[in-house]
Amino acid sequence: MKENKVLNIAVIRLGNIGTYLYKYLQTNKKILFKKNNCYPNIIFVSAKNRRKKRGIKINKKIWLNNYLDATKPNSSMVKGLKVKVLFINHAYEHEQDLYVTLEKLWRDMFAYMGINNVEIVPQIDFEN
């Protein structure tokens, strides 16, 4: 027997379009399965104001306070992962040491994602 495929969806921002999309996905699951051979499954919903009246009921378990958490990789995805960041400059650029200010940003971003094995290569100059 074939296993039914599931398409996981996150609806970020529940304005007019996001609310319509949420309602459409909830009410037309069977039609979408027939057309695409997979069931739509709303796994996350995020909006600026959770308390705003939208005319739909949303399960509290799928609400996200920060939509970036939905895209954050889990620990099994980043286990043993090594990241190498290369800053490439041309020899004629004025701000050749720009990487110094960006290095902390990149390290913080990868630390937030749980990636600790990060190598930063400061500068590679290319001649024209």
CB 54 within 8 A of CB 90: no
* Model confidence, pTM: 0.55
Nearest 5°: phi and psi at 66?
-130, 115
Tokens coding 30: 């069977």
Q: Specify the amino acid at residue 63.
A: W
Q: pLDDT digit string (tens) for 68-106? A: 777 777 777 778 888 888 877 665 666 656 667 778 888
Using a pLDDT cut of 90, give the percent of the chain over it: 10
Query: First and final CA of the chain: distance in angstroms?
Result: 60
Give the separation between CA 32 and CA 94, rounded to whole angstroms: 54
Interacting residues of 5 by C-beta distance below 8 A, sequence separation 6+: 37, 38, 39
The whole-number pLDDT of residue 127 equals 59
Q: pLDDT digit string (tens) for 14-28? A: 888 889 999 999 999
